[in-house]
């Protein structure tokens, strides 16, 4: 039809106003036709028409949302003309519609299925014209919704021709709704409407991972594996489109527990997780700060931490941003319930409050709680179950590759300003710093810097800096090596002073028995390093007193070159109660489990057990603790070599302790005159003539003396005048043997 002037009217029935059609008389137009309505010379609107007998000819009736959208008033004259769609370009491929309740008072919190909504929408409005910014009313589940068209994408013409899609997306202003159009609902910004299903919001979601994220810049080294594991468990579900996550019925991880030795980067890692995510600034809370002496205040402090997340979840639902709460020293507030001696039970109620906030009846889905502790054994079990702190990650001591990363991070600034000497080799330092934690490596760099600075300070009557030389300051390899040997020692490392005292006289190989013991020790070291079937190797060195068991154990430990070597010795536990002794022994074994390769020497076992033959008496508590610890395999991927020493094999046999050791090696005393002379030769204490005299006196005779006792006798004899030394030595040897009827 040619353009004609018609008069705008009110829609005759409520039912017709829900059809989104302009209503006309059947004398003017036919149902299903599309028309342009020109309101002013520059404003045209496209409508689909429907006929109704109550509309008088020459009138065109509009619903209230249509009149609002087109700016029409009742009785206004408009120019109406036919409109034909180009179906190759104007069919709707996808249409995004903003939705809200039509009347604010009719809101409800029940979820609406956007997939069913989309199907109903296409059914109701099939073959109708839609324009961007168009407003309409939509009835679904007996509720009225106000809609506004936000965006229209044309259908790919190749699909209409039955070919494969070309992937090109064309935005259009006016389109025709067809049966296979896609409708996407997006709730209005301030709406309390809850949408579920696949056809909801396809708004450009802000990526949760910060695009500028970089491990090196963040100052974390050696934790790549841990980061990727945390990412897989805690953030993969948050990066995926929410509709796919919803279809899988997948809940986000809400808690991560980081545990491990002090100084390995737990707090640093938690802070960096906050920087890595496009989330709000994390709330960092020190465990003890939560506690308050007034009743109910500690629990209120917990509630305050979660208040922002709760408020945002109520307001925005699934579109709420991520809130990160970091608890440092979590063991301070989340101890096992029922263990506190205090009558107030504050710890218990704090744990209860935290449990209900993370995963209670009104659970929050927009939080990530990160807890850190170096005592995971103290934390209440209920916190550790899935749904709460379900990702448990050990932040252990860095390996060599990790140490290279950490040292590189801490020396980067010096390198960029040319303050690091070219002879500093980071890889060499990493190889030398076995079992150093991240904090200890940082301390090492600081110590080397202060050593270098010290060279440029003139300490005369006043302390002043030599400015000329200070400008040429460089931190050298010798500064690092000096700090390594003198300043910074690893807490979980090898304390050389610990075992060097036991072998200060060296190992005197007076005969084959000593060589055999050292060879067996080497085999056990290789077995510990290389065997995957036996991550725990325990060996007992047994023999008479003073035969050098401890020295041999210390020598085997030193030769192993393991990064962690500790001697568990009775001399460090003098005056300890039974329980304190058990805890001290357990701590040595626990620390050993934190290192990749560890060696623990349990010296003088019968002394540790407080054994005395009168009675006999011994500590059963310590015995049971040792029996358990000697058999306890280290965690996966860790290896442990235990070397025990005892002079009372018979006692350990009765206590059923020998079974706890994989193998037993006997250390004999020096038993022949020839062996004794060989020992004297190796020690070089007497002259050749004196040794020949001693050899003559001992020829064919049997002796029985430990190497340690022999050293004492030699040193005692050497205090005499030269002419009496041999006589005195033989006399002392005879007296030593006389007590035991060994000297013949």
Which residues belong to the active site?
549-550, 603-604, 631, 708
Residues 6+ away with beta carbon under 8 Å from 579: 621
Measured distance CA(686)–CA(691) in Å, rounded: 6
Is residue 268 packed enough to be buried (19+ CB in 10 Å), middle (13-18) or exposed (0-12)?
Answer: middle
CB atoms within 10 A of CB 594: 22
- The span from the CA of 114 to the CA of 700, in Å, is 103
Name residues whose C-beta falls within 8 Å of residue 637's C-beta, 6 or more positions apart in sequence: 596
107 to 101, 111, 142, 151: CA distances (angstroms): 6, 11, 12, 25
Helix H or strand E segment including 627:
helix 620-631
Structure tokens at 47: 């409508």
Helix or strand (DSSP H, E) at 708:
helix 707-717
Rounded to an integer, what distance in angstroms lies between the CA atom of residue 305 and that of residue 285?
Answer: 9
Token pair for 85:
């769609």
* Three-point CA angle 203, 205, 209, nearest 5°: 175
Q: Which residues contact 357 (CB under 8 A, 6 or more apart)?
A: 302, 303, 305, 306, 364
DSSP 434: T
Contact assessment for residue 365 and residue 251, using Cβ atoms and an 8 Å cutoff: yes
Question: Which of 276, 264, 277 has the alpha carbon at shortest distance from 214?
Answer: 276
> Is cis: bond before 262, omega within 30 of 0?
no
The 10 Å Cβ neighbour count of residue 727 is: 13
Judge whether 137 and 18 are in contact, CB under 8 Å.
yes
* Under 8 Å between Cβ of 393 and 257: yes
Angle separating helix axes 688-698 and 722-740, nearest 10 degrees:
30
Residues ≥6 apart with Cβ < 8 Å to 94: 152, 153, 181, 182, 183, 184
Cβ distance 183 to 137 under 8 Å?
Answer: no
438-454 vs 400-416: helix axis angle to the nearest 10? 40
For residues 179 and 45, give the distance between their C-alpha atoms in angstroms, rounded to a whole number: 23
Strand partners, 91: 176
Helix (H) or strand (E) holding 244: helix 242-248
Distance CA 217, CA 708 (A): 57
Residue 395 three-state SS? coil
Neighbours of 28 (CB within 10 A): 20
Please say whether the beta carbons of 681 and 577 come within 8 A. no
Tell me the C-alpha distance between 38 and 87, whole Å: 23
Could you give the CA distance from residue 64 to residue 242 in angstroms, rounded to a whole number? 36
DSSP state of 200: B
Are 132 and 150 in contact by the 8 Å Cβ rule? The answer is: yes
513 Cβ contact list (under 8 Å, min separation 6): 667, 668
* Phi, psi for residue 21 in degrees, rounded to 5: -105, 155
The C-alpha atoms of residue 24 and residue 2 are separated, in whole angstroms, by 16
Helical spans, DSSP H, in 632-672: 649-654
Task: Give the separation between CA 492 and CA 264, rounded to whole angstroms.
Answer: 11
């Amino acid at each position: 039809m040619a353009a004609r002037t018609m008069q705008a009217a009110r829609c005759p029935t409520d039912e017709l106003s829900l059809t989104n059609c302009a209503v006309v008389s059947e004398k003017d137009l036919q149902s299903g036709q599309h028309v342009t309505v020109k309101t002013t010379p520059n404003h045209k609107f496209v409508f689909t028409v429907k006929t109704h007998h109550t509309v008088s000819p020459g009138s065109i009736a509009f619903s209230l949302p249509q009149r609002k959208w087109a700016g029409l008033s009742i009785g206004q004259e408009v120019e109406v003309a036919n409109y034909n769609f180009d179906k190759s370009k104007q069919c709707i491929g996808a249409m995004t519609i903003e939705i809200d309740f039509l009347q604010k008072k009719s809101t409800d919190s029940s979820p609406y299925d956007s997939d069913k909504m989309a199907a109903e929408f296409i059914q109701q409005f099939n073959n109708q014209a839609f324009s961007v910014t168009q407003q309409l009313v939509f009835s679904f589940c007996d509720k009225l919704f106000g809609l506004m068209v936000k965006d229209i994408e044309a259908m790919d013409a190749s699909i209409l021709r039955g070919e494969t899609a070309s992937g090109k997306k064309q935005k259009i202003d006016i389109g025709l709704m067809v049966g296979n159009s896609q409708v996407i609902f997006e709730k209005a910004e301030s709406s309390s409407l809850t949408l579920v299903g696949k056809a909801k919001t396809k708004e450009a979601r802000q990526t949760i991972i910060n695009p500028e994220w970089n491990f090196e810049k963040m100052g974390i080294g050696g934790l790549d594996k841990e980061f990727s594991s945390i990412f897989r468990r805690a953030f993969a579900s948050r990066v995926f489109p929410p509709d796919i996550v919803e279809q899988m019925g997948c809940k986000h991880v809400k808690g991560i527990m980081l545990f491990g030795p002090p100084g390995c980067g737990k707090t640093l890692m938690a802070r960096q997780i906050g920087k890595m995510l496009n989330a709000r600034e994390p709330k960092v809370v020190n465990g003890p700060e939560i506690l308050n002496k007034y009743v109910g205040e500690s629990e209120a402090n917990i509630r305050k931490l979660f208040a922002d997340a709760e408020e945002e979840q109520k307001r925005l639902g699934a579109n709420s941003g991520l809130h990160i709460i970091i608890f440092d020293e979590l063991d301070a507030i989340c101890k096992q319930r029922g263990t506190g001696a205090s009558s107030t039970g504050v710890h218990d109620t704090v744990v209860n409050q935290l449990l209900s906030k993370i995963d209670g009846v009104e659970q929050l889905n927009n939080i990530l709680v990160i807890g850190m502790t170096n005592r995971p054994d103290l934390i209440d079990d209920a916190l550790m179950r899935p749904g709460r702190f379900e990702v448990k990650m050990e932040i252990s001591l860095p390996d060599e590759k990790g140490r290279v990363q950490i040292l590189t991070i801490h020396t980067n600034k010096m390198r960029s300003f040319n303050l690091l000497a070219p002879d500093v080799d980071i890889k060499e330092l990493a190889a030398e710093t076995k079992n150093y934690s991240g904090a200890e490596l940082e301390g090492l760099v600081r110590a080397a810097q202060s050593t270098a600075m010290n060279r440029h300070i003139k300490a005369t009557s006043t302390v002043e800096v030599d400015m000329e030389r200070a400008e040429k300051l460089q931190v050298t390899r010798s500064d690092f090596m000096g700090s390594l040997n003198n300043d910074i020692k690893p807490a979980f490392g090898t304390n050389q002073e610990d075992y060097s005292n036991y072998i200060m006289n060296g190992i005197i190989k007076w005969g084959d028995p000593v060589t055999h013991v050292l060879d067996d020790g080497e085999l056990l070291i290789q077995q510990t390093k290389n065997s995957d079937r036996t991550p725990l190797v325990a060996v007992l060195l047994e023999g008479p007193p003073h035969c050098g068991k401890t020295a041999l154990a210390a020598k085997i430990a030193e030769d192993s070159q393991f990064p962690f070597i500790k001697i568990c010795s009775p001399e460090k536990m003098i005056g300890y109660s039974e329980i304190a002794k058990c805890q001290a022994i357990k701590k040595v074994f626990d620390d050993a489990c934190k290192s990749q390769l560890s060696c623990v020497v349990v010296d003088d076992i019968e002394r540790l057990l407080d054994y005395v033959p009168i009675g006999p008496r011994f500590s059963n508590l310590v015995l049971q603790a040792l029996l358990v610890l000697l058999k306890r395999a280290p965690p996966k991927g860790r290896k442990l070599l235990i070397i025990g020493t005892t002079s009372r094999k018979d006692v350990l046999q009765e206590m059923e302790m020998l079974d706890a050791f994989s193998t037993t090696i006997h250390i004999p005393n020096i038993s022949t005159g020839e062996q004794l002379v060989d020992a004297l030769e190796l020690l070089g204490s007497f002259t050749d003539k004196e040794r020949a005299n001693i050899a003559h006196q001992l020829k064919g005779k049997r002796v029985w003396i430990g190497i340690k006792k022999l050293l004492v006798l030699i040193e005692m004899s050497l205090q005499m005048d030269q002419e009496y030394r041999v006589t005195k030595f033989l006399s002392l040897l005879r007296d030593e043997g006389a007590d035991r009827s060994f000297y013949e």
